[in-house]
Amino acid sequence: MTSRERKEIRGYIGSGVVFLFVILLLVFLSWQEIPKSNNDSFKLIIGALIATIGAAVYVFIGKDPNHVEELQRKNDSLETKVDALVAEKDRLENLIIKMQEDLIDRILLVSAINHDTKKEKK
């Protein structure tokens, strides 16, 4: 098992625990009443837990925002490499075209010289 797989498993377990904790807390609150002296602080804590539920569910269903960012960075890197390879390919194509033109010019020049030499001998 790779470190990435272990990290994903920890994420799933952690998300499940947070989700389960919030559900159990809501069930507990349906039976118990919070005293007025602790009501505000308890609401603050519950709000923070509820806010983490979105991220927990997001990870729990398999969508890790860090993974998406990592894939975007990798994609950008690969696009840069592709652009560099395309530029190099174009440079090499131009080099081959120039070499072919030079070769054709030389072949025509040699053929013309041979033709003129044969004509002069006659």
Do 59 and 71 lie in one domain? The reply is no
Do 59 and 80 lie in one domain? The reply is no
Residue ranges making up the domain that contains 35: 1-63
Alpha-carbon distance of 27 to 63, in angstroms, equals: 27
pLDDT tens per residue, range 8-39: 777 778 777 877 887 787 778 777 777 777 77
Whether the model clears a pTM of 0.75, i.e. scores above it, the answer is no
Which residue, among 7, 5, 12, has the nearest Cα to 55 in the 3D structure? 12
Say how many domains are in the chain.
2
Do 2 and 57 lie in one domain? The reply is yes
Q: Which of 13, 33, 63 is the last residue of a domain?
A: 63
Q: Which of 46, 63, 80 is the last residue of a domain?
A: 63
Q: Where are the alpha helices (DSSP H) in 32-64?
A: 39-60
